Chains A and B, each alone.
Chain A
Amino acid sequence: MVIQEALFWFLTVMAIVCALGVILSRNPISSVLFLIATFFAISGHYILLNAQFLGIVNIIVYAGAIMVLFLFVIMLMNLNADTEPQKNRLIQFAGVISGGILFLVVLAAMRTVGGTAVDHTTTDIGLIKNLGKVLFTQYVLPFEISSVLFLSAMIGAIVIGKKE
């Protein structure tokens, strides 16, 4: 249990620090690298929750495929300090104020929640066998209907990408 707890805290701190790094670093490449590290930390959390399948899919799909695409796009765009648009101080200020207010409200509400809601018992729901079973029985309708979503996204790729 001690190892698990230590791992949990390590991964949590890593996830939060890396997520802050994504938005605070000025270089887009290091932002992407921080984001990959965040995904690895979250995958670690999934594995701690006994959801190996989710953890591995998260690494393969997000950290692997999508983030590599991100890196390519950013490198091809050749971003540097000159092309960065000038930001309006007033809008920045308004954004900080409104975001801060939302943060305050959520924080004030969550303060009273406490840690009782978290279920510590390990479940086997994250294993591939159980996940597949649930996906094809209880959640079969959302699973099947998401095909419509992907189909329209594919149409979009053709409509927008094909030369007229």
Chain B
Amino acid sequence: MKAIIAATIIGVVLMFTGILVKEKKGIATLAAILFFLLLGVNIWELSTLDANQPQAFFNNMLRIDRYSVWFNTLMTACTVLYVMLSGREIQKVGIHVSDYFALMSFMLVGLYMLSGYSNMLVLFLGIEIISIPQYILAGSDKKNLKSSEASLKYFLMGAFTTGILLMGITLLYGASGTFDIARFTFLQADSLNPMALCGIIFLIIAFAFKVSAAPMHMWTPDVYDGSPTPFTAFMSTVVKAAAFIAFIKLFHISFNSLSGHWTMIIAVITAATLLVGNVTAVFQQSVKRMMAYSSIAQAGFMLFAVLSISATSWQGLIIYAVSYTVATMGVFAVLMKLKDFTYDGFNGLAKREPLLAFVMTIFLLSLAGIPLTGGFMAKYFMLTAAVEQGQVLWLVIFALLMAAISVYYYFRVIIAMYFKQGSPEMSSPVTAGDRLVLVATAALVILLGVAPGLLLKFI
């Protein structure tokens, strides 16, 4: 609750700095400081929270436990990292720099709501609060036609999915007469309630769209490719994690006892997501578009957390969200330094910028799930959770196969950087500060791979 209030205030403050501060660099610095303060507020909230006693606010609208606050803290830390990695690129997108940062702050409000909601109304508002700023940020590069296309496409499809989400919530309300996710009465009833089951199907469709799972993934490549690159980095990481925590919360807390009815649906969606994401990524020529498909593929792995109901899957979600977020932000930070986003644009990067090529290699290895990186531990936790659950062993084998395919397209970038000749053009010079943050990010990826327990300590 403290974090929600703080993030709202920070958003409003950032809006007004657009009037007072004319210098773009000043705004970016102020935004970094304010997000850092927000991280402090999150830590304060974490320290004041009783470990065993979830705290309820406003007639059970929000129910905050240690897991959700710790998730908020980690995602806010990722946002701070993101602002440090791509602050300079955000300044180049357009003239409304303060508004972009304000929108990010509002998206964090949405994230805090989604990690702590206990009422379907708050879920709906949270989903909308993370979605509407995304439509705006996707279209913020107004001179670029592809950016406008991305914004419009995302807006239309997102609005349509919101309708499906609302229909699902309505059916659940019709079945139970309450919006409280912990008190759905059809869960205790002996006979099945068809209205509730229909509602669950609608909710699966809506959530699958928000986390870009197949077959509702069609918007992802166009939107992620068309949006300005720094915003793609934010949309495909922190926001996606927010959608996932809402997904897992609803399905584990509310629909746990009905899991026999929806496990198979989610398993098929997971398999389709893994297949479409990984196989299509192989055929891409642009690294940015490949990252869009890679984010679909990674969503497939995160769906394992929803699929297998256990403590391991909750832990796995937090590890996956953080390691995927950090590595993806790193890849995009390197990508933004280059002018040409195709694979050929990376040719010979190792000769020109050895450090950049080295950290990029670490990020890509993590995304591919090579041991000693965060990505390996994340995939390990997800698949362990699925094996423990025991119903979907075929899916685990399939996921391992798909992970092997993903190695191909991630390594294509590494091969281009190290073994091909060429002189990559840089869009902006790499400063000492950039190097420092990139090395710190790479170190973080390794640290997550060696000691993933750090992420579970505060739950």
Q: Is the interface of A mostly helix, strand, loop or mixed?
A: helix
Interface string of A136-164 (1 = CB under 8 A from B): 01111110011011011101101110101
* A117, CB-defined interface residue at 8 Å: yes
Contact B61 A141 (CB under 8 A): yes
Q: For B129, what are the chain A residues with a Cβ–Cβ distance below 8 Å?
A: 145, 148-149, 152
Contact A145 B136 (CB under 8 A): no
Q: For B59, what are the chain A residues with a Cβ–Cβ distance below 8 Å?
A: 137-138
Report B72 CB to chain A, min CB distance, Å.
Answer: 15
* A105, CB-defined interface residue at 8 Å: yes
Q: For B106, what are the chain A residues with a Cβ–Cβ distance below 8 Å?
A: 148, 151-152
Q: For B193, what are the chain A residues with a Cβ–Cβ distance below 8 Å?
A: 113
Q: For A96, what are the chain B residues with a Cβ–Cβ distance below 8 Å?
A: none
Contact B174 A164 (CB under 8 A): no
Contact A152 B96 (CB under 8 A): no
Q: For B151, what are the chain A residues with a Cβ–Cβ distance below 8 Å?
A: 160
Do A152 and B57 form a contact, CB below 8 Å, given A113-B195, A145-B113? no
Q: Which residue of B lies closest to A142 (CB)?
A: B121
Q: For A159, what are the chain B residues with a Cβ–Cβ distance below 8 Å?
A: 94, 96, 99-100, 136, 140
* Bound CA span A112–B194, Å: 7
Contact A164 B94 (CB under 8 A): yes
Contact B132 A149 (CB under 8 A): yes
* A110, CB-defined interface residue at 8 Å: yes
Contact A158 B201 (CB under 8 A): no
Contact B95 A156 (CB under 8 A): no
Interface string of B89-130 (1 = CB under 8 A from A): 000001110011011001001100100000101100100110
* Bound CA span A139–B125, Å: 12
* Bound CA span A43–B125, Å: 24
* Bound CA span A73–B254, Å: 43
Q: Which residue of B lies closest to A109 (CB)?
A: B194
* B8, CB-defined interface residue at 8 Å: yes
Contact B198 A110 (CB under 8 A): yes
Report B217 CB to chain A, min CB distance, Å.
Answer: 15
Contact A151 B11 (CB under 8 A): yes
Q: For A81, what are the chain B residues with a Cβ–Cβ distance below 8 Å?
A: none
* A90, CB-defined interface residue at 8 Å: no
Do A155 and B136 form a contact, CB below 8 Å, given A139-B121, A145-B113, A149-B125? yes
* B133, CB-defined interface residue at 8 Å: yes
Contact B99 A164 (CB under 8 A): no
Contact B58 A140 (CB under 8 A): yes
Contact A110 B99 (CB under 8 A): no
Partner of A158, one of B99, B133, B198: B99
Partner of B103, one of A117, A155, A164: A155
* Bound CA span A159–B231, Å: 14
* Bound CA span A111–B103, Å: 45
* A1, CB-defined interface residue at 8 Å: no
Report B347 CB to chain A, min CB distance, Å.
Answer: 35
Report A154 CB to chain B, min CB distance, Å.
Answer: 9
Q: For B132, what are the chain A residues with a Cβ–Cβ distance below 8 Å?
A: 149, 152-153, 156
Interface string of B182-198 (1 = CB under 8 A from A): 00000000000111011
* B4, CB-defined interface residue at 8 Å: yes
* A106, CB-defined interface residue at 8 Å: yes
Q: For A148, what are the chain B residues with a Cβ–Cβ distance below 8 Å?
A: 8, 11, 106, 109-110, 129
Contact A141 B62 (CB under 8 A): yes
* B15, CB-defined interface residue at 8 Å: yes
Contact B125 A145 (CB under 8 A): yes
Q: Which residue of B lies closest to A106 (CB)?
A: B198
Q: For A112, what are the chain B residues with a Cβ–Cβ distance below 8 Å?
A: 194
* B142, CB-defined interface residue at 8 Å: yes
* Bound CA span A137–B58, Å: 8
* Bound CA span A117–B173, Å: 11
Q: Which residue of B lies closest to A150 (CB)?
A: B132
Report B173 CB to chain A, min CB distance, Å.
Answer: 11
Partner of A152, one of B119, B136, B174: B136
* B439, CB-defined interface residue at 8 Å: no
* Bound CA span A158–B98, Å: 12
Q: For B119, what are the chain A residues with a Cβ–Cβ distance below 8 Å?
A: 142
Q: For B94, what are the chain A residues with a Cβ–Cβ distance below 8 Å?
A: 159, 164
Q: Which residue of B lies closest to A117 (CB)?
A: B174
Q: Which residue of A lies closest to B140 (CB)?
A: A159
* Bound CA span A106–B170, Å: 14
* Bound CA span A149–B121, Å: 13
Contact B125 A109 (CB under 8 A): no
Report A109 CB to chain B, min CB distance, Å.
Answer: 4
* B71, CB-defined interface residue at 8 Å: no
Q: For B174, what are the chain A residues with a Cβ–Cβ distance below 8 Å?
A: 117
* Bound CA span A18–B61, Å: 37
* Bound CA span A13–B102, Å: 47
Contact B61 A113 (CB under 8 A): no
Q: For A151, what are the chain B residues with a Cβ–Cβ distance below 8 Å?
A: 11-12, 15, 106
* B374, CB-defined interface residue at 8 Å: no
* Bound CA span A106–B196, Å: 11
* Bound CA span A145–B94, Å: 28
Report A118 CB to chain B, min CB distance, Å.
Answer: 9
* B139, CB-defined interface residue at 8 Å: yes
Between-chain CB contacts (< 8 Å), 11 pairs: A111-B194, A139-B61, A142-B122, A148-B109, A151-B106, A155-B102, A156-B136, A159-B100, A160-B139, A160-B151, A162-B96
Q: 8 closest pairs, A vs B, by CB?
A: A109-B194, A156-B136, A141-B58, A141-B61, A142-B121, A152-B106, A159-B96, A152-B133
Q: Known A-B contacts: A152-B102, A156-B133. Give 7 more (CB < 8 A).
A: A137-B59, A140-B58, A145-B129, A148-B129, A151-B15, A159-B94, A159-B96
